[in-house]
Amino acid sequence: MKIYYNDHVQVPLPPGHRFPMAKYGMLHRALLEEGVAAPRQLVASPALERAQLLTAHDPDYVEAFLAGTLARRSMRRIGLPWSEVFVERVRTSMGGTVMAALSALDLGISGNLAGGTHHAHRDQGGGFCVFNDLAIAALSLIGAGDLRRVAIVDLDVHQGDGSATILKDTPEVFTLSLHGEKNYPFRKPPSDLDVGLPDGCDDATYLSALEQALESVWKHRPELILYQAGVDPLAEDSLGRMNLTLRGLGERDRMVLSRAHHRGIPVAMTLGGGYARPIEPTVEAYLQTYRIAAEIFGS
């Protein structure tokens, strides 16, 4: 398993900012300290070039963000302050997912210790997301002839609205979003399959819904799964409003990964959301996902 990271690109945030930037470095260290991954498996993510950003995004939007001329209102929608370091962080987050997708085709499993930026639409960002790495990776690999069919399995607690709008006319990519029905975003454009779950959803309800939803994924016969493995359904999460236990999240990951492996479908994983306060339960949940992936696919 190859794992791409970009926590060496440190983005300064204002004091008290609610985005937990420290979680990326904490997970990187935990993977090594717990022996889930060896140093040789961890690779610094390359910065994605402008041309690949354009596979999923409007040229004017891309240019404005890269140049720092995006309207203040648009940056407020994203929720993070612009800086040259932030541009590098975004470009390497995108590059990590594209490289993880390519590596998964060779190795069966790979991951990006960032990404899952599913709230970015073609011409605007939102919800801490500037560009949509899932859409970029899917469209890039299909456009290059590497794949014919891809599935995005998005299990972040928030609906993948950007993925839905960017890929709505791309039948080669099946988009599944299993999310909190009343949670952000409040306008939810249709994915190929949306499963909205109630506030306070428990392990049993969640896993039953996921099992049914995955049947539609297998019918698509994907040659790659892009797994948005957000851990914000965790009960401790400050933005999730669900009640999943750490064990329940582990069963979720095991269901997706073991059934994909059984079918011979490669999986590229992205982190997605996680906002526990303190952040340690989020990092432990991310670590568990990688531990299960290594167990199922082999390290």
pLDDT band at 299 (very low <50, low <70, confident <90, very high): low
CB burial of 219-238 (b: ≥16 within 10 Å; e: otherwise) equals ebebbbbbbbbbbbbbbbbe
Mean pLDDT of 143-149: 96
Q: Which residue has the tokens 């899932």?
A: 134
pLDDT band at 298 (very low <50, low <70, confident <90, very high): confident
Mean pLDDT of 254-273: 98
Across all residues in the chain, what is the average pLDDT?
97
Mean pLDDT of 231-255: 98
pLDDT in tens, 161-215: 999 999 999 999 999 999 999 999 999 999 999 999 999 999 999 999 999 999 9
Closest by CA position to 118, among listed 109, 103, 130, 100 = 130
Distance CA 277, CA 141 (A): 37
Q: Has residue 60 got a pLDDT over 70?
A: yes
pLDDT, position 257: 98
Mean pLDDT of 277-297: 98
Q: Where are the domains of the chain?
A: 2-297
Which of 28, 57, 119, 220 does the annotation list as catalytic?
119
| pTM score over 0.85 | yes
Mean pLDDT of 256-272: 98
Distance CA 243, CA 281 (A): 13
pLDDT in tens, 70-104: 999 999 999 999 999 999 999 999 999 999 999 99
CATH of domain 2-297: 3.40.800.20
Query: DSSP labels for 146-207?
Result: S-S-EEEEE-SSS--HHHHHHTTT-TTEEEEEEEETTSSPSS----SEEEEE-TT--HHHHH
Contact between residue 94 and residue 53 where contact means Cβ atoms under 8 Å apart: yes
Distance CA 102, CA 96 (A): 10
| 17 catalytic residue (yes or no) | no
Distances (CA, A) of 280 to 27, 38, 194, 198, 242: 9, 22, 30, 25, 18
